[in-house]
Structure 1
């Protein structure tokens, strides 16, 4: 599995206002996650599994990531994709563009994978699915119709949603004739960018998952806006920066991160002048300059809160992010988790890798949560990750961009940007080995 180590924590300094009202106390110390793996806990909740069976599925998911990387390297022109089904029977579908049974390939798999693998013949390659989805997206964008969508692997059909019956009537004739037999158009709740302020997350240093504050006065009626993502390096000089979602905008020239120390203080960023800001196609991120104020203290973390034990058995408040996963290694059916300022620690199952949101394909879509709400205003920019084993170690996947609002639990869809996309604009994730 091609994975790169990833930093997700920072420390900075600034002075506090003398007359500030009291600030909510953070956890007394940094406590690494313990107890049950959140992905295991989620699988138990979502699919009614025993802990042993959930752990087995997590182990299989990790092996599938490695298999996906292997198939990319082998470059078999007939290889189409992989997806995982959890219900009604657990299986790993490996799709090819022919009907060859591939006995030698089956025998090359581990005994664990062979138990679940099915070879599935399909008609569309990943490239063709992306091209078709872009063609569908362009057709609906041309009429200013709001929509979302993805390719439903199990059905081998495109699933497109619009917000009203009138938009459905307008959209139906826009579907290209060659695709009409493979497209399902429905009315449903659509994703919204989730920047409005709700809730507060505080920590003893800046890390992925901490809240972005729009004021250094905790008495402000709505003090937080969005969630910090991961630290980065950018430009020829590899300067220090920090990520959040590009659509997060506020009417103030600065934003703040809350830092606890002696004395309590806030850290100021120039919100109005992001170094990099990309809000187009599959991109939704900005890099805020950290300069010398951004410290690297050896902690590569994602902060989380687990109120009311909503992901059962998960303790502590930080995950150690040690790597990131490329888009090519993530698959439909993977179980993943998020830390957001509003909904806190939540988990779900990937339902699409090239989902369309906000008019463009390229986002991954997560659904089927067991928590009260998977996505809500204030979560944008928050880190998505998964835990491949026991303990506090986790792998970064992406940054939260938005989700369906007014939904409950399993009916909610979350939309996120793959973290590797920042590489396209001269920014890279901060690695433990990066100067």
Structure 2
């Protein structure tokens, strides 16, 4: 699962590069230009995630429980005086194998994110770390009711995949809200502070707010970029489920996160617009 965090000798160079990238995109109020422009190994270190505030230009680096206190202390020392905030998030950054409705591969249980189509061909969208595990998918753990077959999968870097319907199952443009269905009326782009909910096969509907955009997450399996971060909890099996507004606007699908729904957690989502654009899909 997670590999131990290894503090790269060029950690400061990475964080300076992050601040510099923000400075060029925002204003001179951001951190000073660094001595080194190349991202260090920390950018792909399992157990870490980072985001840049588009207003202040400050970088926030989060560490999960696989990062030791000794390593964290070393990093705090290295970052003293920089425009970088370092903080802990409980639990371990992980993809959540196991919206809405449960879907079963040969070895994984995940959640359906959205139904989409290209012309008259229908697909379901879910997380790429889910579709990587299996070519065939079913509605039940006994594998008696077929859904369809994987036609595309992208993970890491991205975290989305497609399953083409080969059965006559109904595929409404809706989210399972346990109980009942919420009709989807379109897609949108998330913004910080937005009130949102997610639906998943393990923990049902949970709600909260968007806390950051364009997040980079370093899972043990690889790095995923451009994600939406929220303060909503999730657990294994919720992966791939939809992030949406109560007005029926779809925003993304669940990639992973930390914590659980007993003590709370943080979750990250692949924006839906990118997925539709990459595959030429529309939401029915």
The TM-score with structure 2 as length reference comes to 0.72
Instruction: State the partner residue of 2:50.
Output: 149
Instruction: State the partner residue of 2:203.
Output: 343
Q: CA deviation at 1:340?
A: 0.6
Q: Following the alignment from structure 2 to structure 1, what is the Cα–Cα distance between the partners of residues 45 and 57?
A: 27
Instruction: State the partner residue of 1:72.
Output: none
Whether 1:381 and 2:240 are equivalent positions in the alignment is yes
C-alpha deviations, 1:70-103, integer Å up to 9, x for none?
xxxxxxxxxxxxxxxxxxxxxxxxxxxxxxxxxx
Instruction: State the partner residue of 1:19.
Output: none
Instruction: State the partner residue of 2:72.
Output: 168
Q: Is the 8 A contact 2:147 2:167 kept in 1?
A: no
Q: CA deviation at 1:424?
A: 3.9
Instruction: State the partner residue of 1:269.
Output: 148
Q: CA deviation at 1:335?
A: 0.5
SS at match of 1:248: helix
C-alpha deviations, 1:366-424, integer Å up to 9, x for none?
11x5xxxx211110000111023xxxxx1111101111035745x51111010011134
Whether 1:403 and 2:257 are equivalent positions in the alignment is yes
Question: Which residue among 162, 172, 176 is the counterpart of 1:303?
Answer: 176
* Greater strand content: 2
Pair 1:138–1:429, CA change in 2 (3 A): farther
Q: CA deviation at 1:185?
A: 2.2
SS at match of 2:145: strand
Q: Following the alignment from structure 2 to structure 1, what is the Cα–Cα distance between the partners of residues 73 and 169?
A: 52
Q: Following the alignment from structure 1 to structure 2, what is the Cα–Cα distance between the partners of residues 360 and 250?
A: 14
Q: Following the alignment from structure 1 to structure 2, what is the Cα–Cα distance between the partners of residues 127 and 360?
A: 26
Instruction: State the partner residue of 2:137.
Output: 255
SS at match of 1:421: helix
Structure 1 portions without partners, runs of 5+: 1-121, 198-207, 216-222, 259-264, 306-315, 389-393
SS at match of 1:413: strand
Q: Following the alignment from structure 2 to structure 1, what is the Cα–Cα distance between the partners of residues 214 and 43?
A: 20
Whether 1:363 and 2:267 are equivalent positions in the alignment is no
* Greater helix content: 1
Query: Which structure would you say has the larger RCO, counting Cα contacts within 8 Å and 6 or more residues apart?
Result: 1
Pair 1:406–1:396, CA change in 2 (3 A): closer
Give aligned pairs, total.
Answer: 247
The TM-score with structure 1 as length reference comes to 0.49
What is the CA RMSD across the aligned residues, in angstroms?
3.6
Whether 1:193 and 2:75 are equivalent positions in the alignment is no
Instruction: State the partner residue of 1:430.
Output: 283
